[in-house]
Amino acid sequence: MAVGLGGGVAGADPVQSSQPPSQPEIDRMIRDGVRTAHDTAQAQVPLLPQQFQEQARQGIDALTEAVAPGLLQPAPAPAPAPAPAPEPAPRPEPCPASARACVDIDGQRTWLQEGGQVSYGPVQISSGSPGPDTETPRGSFRVTYKVRDEISREFNNAPMPYAVYFTYNGHAFHEGNPNVPSAGCIHLSHDAAVTFFDSLQPGDEVFIY
């Protein structure tokens, strides 16, 4: 008996280190083999007399199903893709995303927004009549202060409920008839005036265009 340089016995078979296949691998190999046998047998069916072909196909399928149940079942249809989320309502232009309240004088409407997305409205308004002393100013403003039970001393103590001022010259959102022009303020319906009063805080941007 010869001994090799590494101390091993010359001529001895190498040790096999591979592990035996797992049970899932065995099952997969069996099903693959059954599938191959099924397909091979079905490919030979056209060689039979025509009157025996359908019976042969059914017999091959039945035998395959007995050996490997479910092998011939069609693959399940993929789950339908989830419906896309609805697009958020587009923000009317040109009111900037930074504004908390927007007023469209030409369209006689106003709305509130959060992060550039409309959160309330648009609702109908009436703005000031054309003229140097009555026209509603356009531009970017800030809420200055709020008075729930306000009156206008300039106009014979006319009521201005839920007033939200955005200038120091008397311009404000307040409850009023949205079908009647104002003297420079923004007239809102009762519900809209309450919502604006509760939602807007001093420092919030008001953009009027």
- pLDDT in single tens digits along all 209 residues of the chain: 333 333 344 444 444 546 777 877 777 877 787 788 878 877 887 887 888 788 878 888 788 777 778 777 776 667 777 777 665 554 456 899 999 999 999 999 999 999 999 999 999 999 999 888 899 999 999 999 999 999 888 888 899 999 999 999 999 999 999 999 999 999 999 999 999 999 999 999 999 99
Instruction: Count the Cβ atoms, other than its own, within 10 Å of residue 54.
Output: 11
Query: What is the model's pLDDT at position 86?
Result: 62
Active site (catalytic) residues: 174, 185
Distance CA 178, CA 124 (A): 6
Q: Are strands 205-208 and 101-104 parallel, antiparallel or unpaired?
A: parallel
- Which residue matches tokens 């590494």? 6
Q: What are phi and psi of 67, to 5 degrees?
A: -80, -40
The CATH superfamily of 101-208 is L,D-transpeptidase catalytic domain-like (2.40.440.10)
Exposed/middle/buried for 86, CB within 10 Å: 0-12, 13-18, 19+?
A: exposed
Query: What is the model's pLDDT at position 8?
Result: 41
**What tokens were used for 40?**
């091979």
Query: What is the model's pLDDT at position 6?
Result: 38
Query: What is the model's pLDDT at position 181?
Result: 94
Query: What is the model's pLDDT at position 44?
Result: 83
